[in-house]
Amino acid sequence: MTERPREDGPPRRSEPEAARVGIRKTWKLFVGGAFVRGESGRYRPLGGGETCPLASRKDLRDAVRAAAEASARWSRTSALLRGQILYRLAEVLEARRAELSAQLAAGGAPAPPRELDLAIDRVVSFAGWADKLSLLASTVNPVAGPYLSVSQPEPIGVVGLVAPGRPALLGLVGTLCPLIAAGNVAVVVAGEPDPRTALAFAECVATSDVPPGVVQVLTGDRAELVPVLARHLGVRGLDVWDASEADARELEQLAADGMKRVAFRSWAVSAFEDARRASSPAMLERFVETKTLWHPLGA
C-alpha cells in the first residue's frame, strides 16, 4: 500500500504514476551543532522507508563531549540573551509548523496543530523564565555577623535528558527548554515512540540561534543508552521521564558514583498541557545548584 502525500507535509514516498522520484531524508543524530550519522551504522526503520540512527555508546560519548565544550560559554551567556535565543527558537518553530505538524501526525500524535501551539507557547514561556529564575531563587541571607552572604542558583552543566515519549514535541520542548533556559546544556535521548519529530525539532534548533553543543539529540535504544548516560562522570544531571520503577532504581544506583543530580518523572499528557504546572519555576530548579558567597563588611 502506498501513502498519499498530505497537504501539510512532504511526500513520504514517490507515487508510482508520478514522473519525479522524491527525495527521501536521511535522518541523522544532532551533535555539536552538526548532523552526523550514527557511529555504529545501526538504524531503526521508521516506516515509509525512512530510518533513524541507533546511537551507540560512542555517539553518546561524543555528544557529552560536545555538550561539555559548549557548557562554559552557555552558562555565562547572559540570561537575557539565553531568553532571546529561546524566543528565536520559537520563531523558527512557528515558521516550520507545516513540517513539524506532518512529523507529529506521522508519529501518531492525535492533534498535531494543538500540540504545536502548546509547544511553541511553552518555548516562549521558558524564554521568559531565563532571566527570572535567579530573581526568585536567589537570597541575601541575613547572617548574624558583619558579612554579606548571598546565594544564587547556578546551572550544573551537562544534563542528560531522557525525553518523555508522549507528547512527542510538547514533552520534548517542555523538558529541554527549562534545562537550557537555566544555563545547562543537554544531551537528549529522544522518546522512542516518535524519534523523527525529535530530529525534526533538532533541525529547528540547528537553524535557530542556539549555539552548537547546547543541545544534542540522539535517537536510539533507551535501554542501551540511558545506563551509559547515568554512569558518565561528565554528565552532572539526569532528567529521566517515563522510567519504570526497576529502571529508576538501577539508574539511581548508577548515578551514585558521580553523585549525579537525578529526577524521575512520568506525567500524563494532560500534565504537559497544563501550562501553570508545566512552566512553573520548579521545572528550572531541578538542575540548578545553589552557590553561596560570603564576604566580610568593613575596611
Partner 1 sequence: MLKLIEGGGASQDRRSGERRLEFGDRWPYEPSPEAIDRAGLRDRWDAFIDGRFVPPAEGGYAADLCPATAEPFAAVAESTAADVDSAVAAARRAFEGAWGRLAPLERGKHLFRLARAVQERARELAVLETLDSGKPIQASRDFDLPLVASHLFHHAGWADKLEWAFHGRTPRPLGVAAQVMPWNFPLLMAAWKIAPALACGNTVVLKPAETTPLSALRLAEIASEVGFPPGVVNVVPGGPSVGAALVTHRGVDQVAFTGSTEVGKVIRRAVAGSGKRLLLELGGPSAHLVFADAPLDQAVEGVIAGAFFHQGQVCCAGARLLVEESVHDVFVAKLRDRMETLRVGDPLDKNTDLGPVGSAAQLARVRELVASAEAEGAARYSVARELPARGWYVAPTLFTGVALAHRIAREEIFGPVLAVLTFRTDTEAVRKANATSSGLAAGVWTSHPGRLLELARGLEAGVVWANSYHRFDPTSPFGGCKESGLGREGGRQGLAAYVRLEEDA
Partner 2 sequence: MSAADAAGAAARGLLPPLGASPPVERVAAEERAAALGRRSLKRAAKVAGLRLAVRCMDLTTLEGADTPARVAALCRKAIAPGGAASDVPSVAAVCVYPSLVGAARRALAGSAVRVASVAAGFPSGLTPLATRVDEARRAVDAGADEIDMVIDRGAFLAGEQERVGDEIELVKEACGAARLKVILETGELGTFSNVRRASDVALHAGADFLKTSTGKIQPAATPGVSLVLLEAIRDFYFRTGRRVGMKPAGGIRTARQALHHLVLVKETLGDAWLDPELYRLGASTLLDDVLLQLEKERTGAYGSLEYLPAD
Options 40-48, 84-92, 178-186, 250-258: segment touching partner 1 (CB under 8 A): 250-258
Please state, in angstroms and rounded to a whole number, the distance separating the CA atoms of residues 107 and 129: 30
Instruction: Choose among partner 1, partner 2, none what residue 297 binds, the Cβ cut-off being 5 to 8 Å by kind.
Output: partner 2
* 177 and 86 Cβ atoms separated by less than 8 Å: yes
* 13 and 3 Cβ atoms separated by less than 8 Å: yes
Which residues does 268 contact at the CB level (< 8 Å), separation at least 6? none
Q: Which residues of 164-180 are buried (b: 16+ CB within 10 A; e: fewer)?
A: bbbbbbbbbbbbbbbbb
Does the footprint of partner 1 cover residue 149 (CB under 8 A)?
Answer: yes
Does the footprint of partner 1 cover residue 281 (CB under 8 A)?
Answer: yes
Per DSSP, what are the bridge partners of residue 215? 186
Tell me the three cell numbers of residue 60: 553518546
Does the footprint of partner 1 cover residue 144 (CB under 8 A)?
Answer: yes
Instruction: Choose among partner 2, partner 1, none what residue 298 binds, the Cβ cut-off being 5 to 8 Å by kind.
Output: partner 2
Instruction: Choose among partner 1, partner 2, none what residue 15 binds, the Cβ cut-off being 5 to 8 Å by kind.
Output: none
Residues that bind partner 2 (CB under 8 A): 146-147, 296-299
Options 27-35, 50-58, 208-216, 286-294: segment touching partner 1 (CB under 8 A): 286-294
Smaller CB separation from partner 1, 201 or 264: 264
Which residues does 140 contact at the CB level (< 8 Å), separation at least 6? 148, 149, 150
Smaller CB separation from partner 1, 33 or 258: 258
Strand residues in the chain grouped as ranges (E): 29-31, 34-36, 43-47, 50-53, 139-140, 147-155, 158-162, 185-189, 215-218, 237-241, 261-265, 288-296
Minimum Å gap between C-beta 224 and partner 1 is 20
User: Which residues, 43 to 82, sit near partner 1 by CB under 8 A?
Assistant: 76
The kind and range of the H/E element at 126 are: helix 112-129
Instruction: Choose among partner 2, partner 1, none what residue 95 binds, the Cβ cut-off being 5 to 8 Å by kind.
Output: none
Smaller CB separation from partner 1, 45 or 296: 296
Options 23-31, 78-86, 217-225, 285-293: segment touching partner 1 (CB under 8 A): 285-293
Does the footprint of partner 1 cover residue 223 (CB under 8 A)?
Answer: no
Instruction: Choose among partner 2, partner 1, none what residue 137 binds, the Cβ cut-off being 5 to 8 Å by kind.
Output: partner 1
